[in-house]
C-alpha cells in the first residue's frame, strides 16, 4: 500500500509511519511543523519507501500518484498547544479534515481519522463507551479542540454515508512515550522533564482527577489494526488502567529518584475529572489490548527524555 499520513512528523504520526514502513508499505508524510518535529523523521530521510512534503493540510492539497490510505493525524493535541494555536486547531480539524477526505475520495483511498477521547468532554458516563455522546463545553478554552474533532467525526461519517468513502475513526486516549516534546505541556512529559531537571512537579488541582495512560507502541498497534481490519464506527483505543494524576507524580518521583518536590497549581478550565476507555469494541473487533504496564512505559519514556535533555 501507499499511504499518506498528515501530522507525519508528530509524536503519533512518526511512530505510525515506522509501523507502515516496517510492514513493507510506502508512506508520504505531510507536516507543517506547528507542533511536529523534524527530529522525529530524521531517521527516515533517504528511506526508499518514504517521501516527506512540508505542507499545511488546512490549505488545498494535491499529492501525485496513487494512494490507498490517508491517515489524518495533523493537529495540535496537547491542551497547552491548542490553547496557543486555537484557530489552527479549529482549521485542521475542519478544513484539514475536509481536504484530506476530498483527496481520499479522489484517490479511492481509505480514510482514517485520528479523533480523541476529548469528544466525551468531562464525561458523565464512566468508563467511556463509543455509544456515549459526550459532555463538551463548546465555548470553553478546550472547545477549539473538542469541537473540531467532533466536527471531523461528523464530516468523516458524511463522506462515508454520502460519498461511500471507506472510513475509520479512532478515539485516542492519553498516550505517552518517546518522541513527545519535552515542553508539550502534557502531564507525563511535564512530570518527567520536571523530575529530570530538578524543577517541582506541578499537579493541577488536587491531583484526584484520573487519566488512563497508553504506551505509544500499544496505541500504534491498535491504530494499525483498526486501519487494516476495522469498520466505520468510532473505536476507542487506549489503556483502561486508570490512575490519579497524583499517583502518576509519585510514580515519576520514584522511578527517576528525583529530589524535586510535588507542588499544586490551579486546575485548568473544564479539565475532565475522569477518563478511562471501555475497550470492549477494540478487543472483539481487532483482538487488540494494551500490553505495556505504566511502570515499564514510564521507565522507557524517562530514558527517552534523559537522552533528549542530554
Ligand atoms: N496536569 C497536571 N500537571 C501538569 C500537566 C497536566 O496535573 O503539569 C493534569 C491536567 O490538569 C489533567 C491531566 O494532568 O488533569 C492530564 O493532562 P494532559 O495535559 O496530559 O492532557 P488531557 O488529558 O487533559 O488532555
CATH number at residue 193: 3.90.25.10
Considering the domain architecture, whether residues 166 and 299 belong to the same structural domain is answered as: no
Q: Is residue 285 part of a domain?
A: no
Could you say which of 82, 120, 145, 159 is catalytic? 145
Considering the domain architecture, whether residues 6 and 77 belong to the same structural domain is answered as: yes
Q: Is residue 230 part of a domain?
A: yes
The label of the residue with cell 487519566 reads 211
Q: Closest ligand 1 atom to the C-alpha of 190?
A: 8
Asked whether the CA dihedral 195, 270, 276, 145 is positive or negative, the reply is negative
At 68 the pLDDT is 98
Distance, in Å, from the CA atom of 106 to the CA atom of 141, rounded to the nearest integer, reads: 35
Q: Cis link prior to 127 (omega < 30° from 0)?
A: yes
The label of the residue with cell 479549529 reads 90
Binding pocket residue ranges, ligand 1, CB within 6 Å: 78-79, 174, 185-187, 190, 202-204, 209, 211, 245, 268, 271
The total of other beta-carbon atoms located within 10 Å of residue 244's CB is: 16
Q: Is residue 287 part of a domain?
A: no
Please classify residue 309 by burial: count the beta carbons closer than 10 Å to its beta carbon, then call 0-12 exposed, 13-18 middle and 19+ buried.
exposed
Domain extent at residue 156: 2-175+216-237
At 310 the pLDDT is 86
Considering the domain architecture, whether residues 186 and 127 belong to the same structural domain is answered as: no
Strand runs (DSSP E) across 149-271, as ranges?
Answer: 167-172, 175-176, 201-204, 210-212, 214-215, 235-237, 242-244, 262-265
Residue 17 CA to ligand 1 centre (angstroms): 27
Considering the domain architecture, whether residues 110 and 164 belong to the same structural domain is answered as: yes
Residue 205 CA to ligand 1 centre (angstroms): 10
Distance, in Å, from the CA atom of 140 to the CA atom of 154, rounded to the nearest integer, reads: 20
Residue partners of 231: CB distance under 8 A and separation at least 6: 168, 285
Give bridge partners of residue 121 from the DSSP assignment: 135
The label of the residue with cell 479539565 reads 271
Considering the domain architecture, whether residues 9 and 144 belong to the same structural domain is answered as: yes
* Whole-prediction pTM: 0.98
Distance, in Å, from the CA atom of 309 to the CA atom of 215, rounded to the nearest integer, reads: 20
Pocket of ligand 1, candidates 187, 207, 242: which has the most ligand atoms within 8 Å of its Cβ, to mutate?
Answer: 187
| Widest distance between CA atoms in the chain | 58
Is residue 145 among the annotated active site residues?
yes
Q: How many independent structural domains does the chain possess?
A: 2
* CATH code for the domain of 83: 3.40.50.720
Q: Is residue 286 part of a domain?
A: no
Q: Using an 8 Å Cβ cutoff, are 286 and 229 in contact?
A: yes
Q: Closest ligand 1 atom to the C-alpha of 204?
A: 7
Starting at the edge strand that comes first in sequence, how are the strands of the sheet with 110-116 ordered? 50-54, 26-31, 2-6, 69-72, 110-116, 167-172, 235-237
Considering the domain architecture, whether residues 136 and 18 belong to the same structural domain is answered as: yes
Considering the domain architecture, whether residues 99 and 181 belong to the same structural domain is answered as: no
Could you tell me the three cell numbers for 258?
Answer: 528525583
Q: Is residue 280 part of a domain?
A: no
Q: Is 274 helix (H, G, I), strand (E, B) or coil?
A: coil
pLDDT tens for the chain, 310 residues: list them. Answer: 999 999 999 999 999 999 999 999 999 999 999 999 999 999 999 999 999 999 999 999 999 999 999 999 999 999 999 999 999 999 999 999 999 999 999 999 999 999 999 999 999 999 999 999 999 999 999 999 999 999 999 999 999 999 999 999 999 999 999 999 999 999 999 999 999 999 999 999 999 999 999 999 999 999 999 999 999 999 999 999 999 999 999 999 999 999 999 999 999 999 999 999 999 999 999 999 999 999 999 999 999 999 999 8
Q: Using an 8 Å Cβ cutoff, are 111 and 104 in contact?
A: yes
Q: HSE on the CB side for 33, CA within 13 Å?
A: 8
Could you tell me the three cell numbers for 7?
Answer: 501530522
Q: Closest ligand 1 atom to the C-alpha of 188?
A: 20
Distance, in Å, from the CA atom of 28 to the CA atom of 43, rounded to the nearest integer, reads: 15
Q: Is residue 169 part of a domain?
A: yes
Length of the chain as a residue count: 310
Considering the domain architecture, whether residues 40 and 92 belong to the same structural domain is answered as: yes
- Ligand 1 atom 21: the closest Cα is on which residue? 186
Pocket of ligand 1, candidates 204, 208, 270: which has the most ligand atoms within 8 Å of its Cβ, to mutate?
Answer: 204
Considering the domain architecture, whether residues 114 and 188 belong to the same structural domain is answered as: no
Amino acid at each position: 500500500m501507499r499511504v499518506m499520513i498528515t501530522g507525519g512528523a508528530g509524536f503519533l504520526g512518526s511512530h505510525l509511519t515506522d509501523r507502515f514502513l516496517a510492514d513493507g508499505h510506502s508512506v508520504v508524510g505531510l507536516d507543517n511543523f506547528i507542533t511536529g518535529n523534524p527530529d522525529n523523521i530524521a531517521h527516515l530521510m533517504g528511506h526508499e519507501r518514504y517521501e516527506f512534503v512540508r505542507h499545511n493540510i488546512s490549505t488545498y492539497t494535491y499529492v501525485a500518484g496513487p494512494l490507498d490510505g490517508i491517515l489524518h493525524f495533523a493537529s495540535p493535541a496537547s491542551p497547552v498547544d491548542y490553547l496557543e494555536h486555537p484557530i489552527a486547531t479549529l482549521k485542521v480539524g475542519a478544513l484539514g479534515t475536509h481536504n484530506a477526505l476530498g483527496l481520499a475520495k479522489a484517490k479511492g483511498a481509505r480514510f482514517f481519522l485520528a479523533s480523541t477521547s476529548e469528544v466525551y468532554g468531562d464525561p458523565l458516563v464512566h468508563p467511556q463507551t463509543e455509544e456515549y455522546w459526550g459532555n463538551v463545553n463548546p465555548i470553553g478554552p478546550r472547545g477549539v479542540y473538542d469541537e473540531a474533532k467532533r466536527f471531523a467525526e461528523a464530516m468523516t461519517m458524511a463522506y462515508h454515508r454520502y460519498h461511500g468513502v471507506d472510513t475509520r475513526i479512532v478515539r485516542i486516549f492519553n498516550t505517552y512515550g518517546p518522541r513527545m516534546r519535552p515542553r508539550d505541556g502534557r502531564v507525563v512529559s511535564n512530570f518527567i522533564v520536571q523530575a529530570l531537571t530538578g524543577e517541582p512537579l506541578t499537579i493541577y488541582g488536587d491531583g484526584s482527577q484520573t487519566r488512563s495512560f497508553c504506551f505509544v507502541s500499544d496505541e500504534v498497534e491498535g491504530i494499525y489494526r483498526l486501519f487494516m481490519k476495522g469498520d466505520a464506527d468510532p473505536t476507542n483505543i487506549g489503556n483502561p488502567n486508570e490512575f490519579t494524576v497524583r499517583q502518576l507524580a509519585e510514580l515519576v518521583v520514584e522511578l527517576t529518584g528525583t529530589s524535586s518536590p510535588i507542588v499544586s497549581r490551579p486546575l485548568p478550565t473544564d479539565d475532565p475529572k475522569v477518563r478511562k476507555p471501555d475497550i470492549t469494541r477494540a478487543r472483539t473487533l481487532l483482538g487488540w489490548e494494551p500490553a505495556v504496564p505504566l511502570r515499564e512505559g514510564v521507565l522507557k519514556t524517562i530514558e527517552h527524555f534523559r537522552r533528549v535533555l542530554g
